[in-house]
Structure 1
């Protein structure tokens, strides 16, 4: 390959927006048939208007045909729309919200089993182990589609009679219902406003009885773990009829715990807690950070922003030393499921399936068979990518992420970032002596999220053109324990902004000297969009960034609290220190729209017109404010899109538009012609 030099940000790259986005499907979940242990997956297809398709992994055949979207919008973010047992599929259809019954071989059209009407949404479907026509699910009632009037309950669905009846109510939210193997118990979690599920959830177990006329009821509920607003108890899984495993952050980090029904005692699985989070915040209902097969549990945990794998024998007491860590090429492991006991060399071995994502490879579905518990396992790639339509570029174009811990001084709190250097084998560096690359500073969403380090071609689109990319896991991010998350309590718009300004400042200085401090871009989506807007309107120095991009970003906190969906309608209470009535000055003073007259940074705004999480008026009010006073601002509204892009044409336009905006602002086209 002929090497040549050119200014950073002007390099030619084969990684085009069309190649990155056109027809690129995404694995969004793995589903295992509870009886046959056949493996299926959900695939999001931007080329089909962003619908989710259920696919049988071995035959590579779609289980549900065209016109169906296996997806739910419970909590708006959805997740857990399907369950499969003995070749029978129950799934939520996004377009009408109803649950349908189908088979895994498409012998007939899906049949609705919940009443007609688009006011109900369902998720977290669980089938009773012996009364297979009885299901328990989360129901979200939007009859009165106002956040304060939306009702969440656990319901019983009789698939034969096609009836729906309330099982549990009273809490604002329910999630993760799980029947014990014999069906005599039901575990679930619940929480209520003003708390979010990562603030504190309560885990319960109740007795289940079924009458002669097939009426399922729950009685004698027992509070197992979790304290409202202070301790999380989530992700319950039954080891057997007497033992329930779950995760709790009682130690300050999400670690595994167990509850024994016969003794009514909860205890930590590990003798000494690890300072790693074994589970992420419950943003979506399909999150499954571990699974159990027999006595073996396959756990994942986060260390330095990357997934670690642990195998724990639940029958043996754990030593105080760290558990065996299995090395793997996957920095992100999600959607862990049990795939039963598989025959290996004449004996049955526990197996697990998950989605694994490497720094230089796209997500794959992985089957892990435990050959010798505690020492070794074998893996098989069940579905590899890139699939048809997905990008396939040489790996030497891929920028490998570096997790860096930054500190302003030895006594200051740590700040965690992930840095991607400019990478392109055609260019060994810049043609300008001493030039350092322009840097895109990315503020993730949530804000209780974190930057995952699995390969993202959208990042490589920039780094292969000579840009540096800096993802900031600012104070409030998950994956580093509860104390780090709580740094943002009452200080949203302050701590996140300070960290997103401090991080590139430190990376540009000794001993790093990695980026050009005069050519910084800040961008982010949703809560990251708010941080972006706050950084260019309220920071002590409003000239830190040369340009900015807000994607579905929040500009008016008061309006957000009034108009956003139920799940997040009280989220701001903790982030801002109270409700809008309690601390109105904070809502006013932290809203970027009230400081838009101070914005001097050129701004690009991207927004979906069907966004119910951050409605489009949040974008338009700040756009109009800047435009009227002659500021540099561009706005693109995408028809048919919600909170995040699902269509390939939108993804492509947004990527090209963002790069073009930065090139114009920094004059990189002129440099390229020099």
Structure 2
């Protein structure tokens, strides 16, 4: 028996580094059906490596990094076609080709570090011609960065623009016979989940060039309707989703008829897609090339489901699974597909699913030995499973949270004691936290801490209306929801956590929510951690990268020129004198999304008033942690900071237990 927060746990920072699966993206060769994934390697400086699933081997050596800086968040850095692998190399931004297993990568784009590429797609008949998203940083200011669709000629290492005019592009892809091309595009001030459009065009191609004709609008509407993730289900039929009913439901477009139509007879309140934060992630895949069936990973509230949809009738067949999160659905062959899956009690795994003729479904989990070393086996008895709870806001609207209670079978808490709690505000802010196993959370829960994930108003997964709750009210709704969630769970009928020992933390947009909370609700939380958090909305509007440079206009309620007083009123740096909550600030030195100077203003203001603040800058890190030493230092420092604030003396491992309180 020992107080909450003092429990010894075998889940150390080193164990987390060994146990975490760092598969960030999955792709499949449409010709050979070979499966690959991109894997982050914290122990190798955070580089991204392409691994072939069949042998679990790297496809290139240690000098390469399959990562793209497009939209800063990246995604879509690699693909395979006909036995060849193509990838963007982060060091020089060039696209490289590995023609066959064992060969060295060869560049296929010009030597120009100002060009960044993503979502490369090979022409099926002229394989040396590839379409890609091109981001030109020749003029480096965000407003001067130019994004286009281009054709890469791998024989001549030349690049030619084929589509321009919009601010952003995604998912360019040729039909299987190479006669058509489709893509998604959007422009400021929209984000892709607010207003994006889909287009198709005829492809006129010869051995040296690709030209487009009959460019046709398919779906979507600026400001009002998001149409996303086009994929060819046949040479004539394009499949995509739109949220014009309030939820992303599947639609088709026939090139021959020129008509777009919903697939389902009646729309349902369930998202068949998720917001496009990164260019590589996909939540659907055709199961054949005859416009027959499509597999979707759908999300309703906090439940993920696999659903097969027949395009001709809209009939839905559910595939039972226990997964809590599914990403990167890819067709492997007719009636088989692969995806990266997470569950509440098991690490991420690669799953290959085969649909048999007798309607039976066969799941094959592909477990390949970790390149980071042999990870210790953590028993399920130590894992705290997230519990979905729907609370209510003051206005009676739903508020979605996930609660992870303290759990460690070696301990019992003191009678009548309630645990300290970490309240996490996710990034985005149009993001979503799932119930999937996260060892960083288990690091806390196994030591006797509760963990509360708040999918505050603005979060995805609950329809467009829930996302729009944050519109014009960023820094208000998110703050109220995080505070209210903690207060409700610490009061009857829940009474699950100790409100006097609850802390708030978050990264990026979640860091902004954290800082805003301790400025505007200074008595709500006992401690706080901002990880690369936004402190000055004005600077963010002026300095942030192109992708999010107009995001604030909707989140705040106007441009900086239109409502300067709102930007100032909501920015934590102008209210740092109100901060009395002990604060830990963790920041990357080369963060281009949220530059370090924003953190330093907050830290300086608190120090000038002799407030309690700790500040650490991690050299060589950007917007998030990639290096092993940073990941370890950050989580250990955060726990020790809270222990110091609350006077908790615990042990970080199973040995040498000391349960006394300081």
Question: Would you say same fold, with TM above 0.5?
Answer: yes
**Match among 236, 240, 245 for residue 234 of structure 2:** 240
Number of residues paired by the alignment?
650
What per-residue deviation string (whole Å, max 9, x for no partner) do you get for residues 361-387 of structure 1?
A: 0011000001147x4311111235766
Report what 1:344 is aligned to. Answer: none
Residue 398 in 1 paired to residue 362 in 2? no
**Match among 581, 586, 590 for residue 601 of structure 1:** 581
Post-superposition offset of 1:234: 0.6
**Match among 439, 460, 481 for residue 442 of structure 2:** 460
**Match among 651, 659, 662 for residue 672 of structure 1:** 659
Q: Output aligned runs, 1:322-361, within 5 Å.
A: 323-341=316-334, 350-361=335-346
CA distance in 2, matches of 1:17, 1:339: 36
Report what 2:182 is aligned to. Answer: 187
Post-superposition offset of 1:585: 0.3
Alpha-carbon distance change, 391 to 415 in structure 1, aligned in 2, over 3 angstroms:
farther
CA distance in 1, matches of 2:100, 2:24: 19
Post-superposition offset of 1:177: 0.3
Report what 1:174 is aligned to. Answer: 169
Post-superposition offset of 1:28: 1.1
CA distance in 2, matches of 1:133, 1:461: 48
Report what 2:596 is aligned to. Answer: 616
CA distance in 1, matches of 2:385, 2:67: 33
Describe the SS at the equivalent of 2:574: helix
CA distance in 1, matches of 2:228, 2:320: 26
**Match among 184, 193, 197 for residue 192 of structure 2:** 197
Report what 1:29 is aligned to. Answer: 25
Residue 131 in 1 paired to residue 115 in 2? no
How does the TM-score come out when normalised to structure 2? 0.96
Q: Which piece of structure 1 moves more, 56-65 or 359-368?
A: 56-65
CA distance in 2, matches of 1:598, 1:22: 41
Residue 425 in 1 paired to residue 409 in 2? yes
Describe the SS at the equivalent of 1:447: coil
Alpha-carbon distance change, 466 to 279 in structure 1, aligned in 2, over 3 angstroms:
same
**Match among 70, 73, 93 for residue 69 of structure 2:** 73
CA distance in 2, matches of 1:353, 1:183: 24
Post-superposition offset of 1:272: 1.4
Report what 1:231 is aligned to. Answer: 225
CA distance in 2, matches of 1:661, 1:306: 34
Q: Is the 8 A contact 1:90 1:101 kept in 2?
A: yes
Post-superposition offset of 1:214: 2.0
Runs (5+) with no aligned partner, structure 1: 342-349
What per-residue deviation string (whole Å, max 9, x for no partner) do you get for residues 248-288 of structure 1?
A: 10110011111112221111111111211111110001111
Q: Is the 8 A contact 1:40 1:57 kept in 2?
A: yes
Residue 272 in 1 paired to residue 276 in 2? no
Residue 308 in 1 paired to residue 305 in 2? yes
Q: Output aligned runs, 1:274-673, within 5 Å.
A: 274-294=268-288, 295-315=292-312, 317-318=313-314, 323-341=316-334, 350-372=335-357, 375-384=359-368, 388-408=373-393, 412-427=396-411, 429-431=412-414, 433-539=415-521, 542-669=522-649, 672-673=659-660
Q: Is the 8 A contact 1:532 1:549 kept in 2?
A: yes
What per-residue deviation string (whole Å, max 9, x for no partner) do you get for residues 290-310 of structure 1?
A: 100212211111123231110
CA distance in 1, matches of 2:360, 2:436: 24
Post-superposition offset of 1:588: 0.4
Runs (5+) with no aligned partner, structure 2: 651-657
Q: Is the 8 A contact 1:57 1:383 kept in 2?
A: no
Report what 2:253 is aligned to. Answer: 259
Q: Is the 8 A contact 2:20 2:439 kept in 1?
A: no
RMSD: 1.4
CA distance in 1, matches of 2:498, 2:160: 61
Q: Is the 8 A contact 1:24 1:47 kept in 2?
A: no
Post-superposition offset of 1:90: 1.5
What per-residue deviation string (whole Å, max 9, x for no partner) do you get for residues 527-561 of structure 1?
A: 0000000000023xx11100000000000110111
How does the TM-score come out when normalised to structure 1? 0.95
Alpha-carbon distance change, 385 to 289 in structure 1, aligned in 2, over 3 angstroms:
farther
Q: Is the 8 A contact 1:23 1:46 kept in 2?
A: no
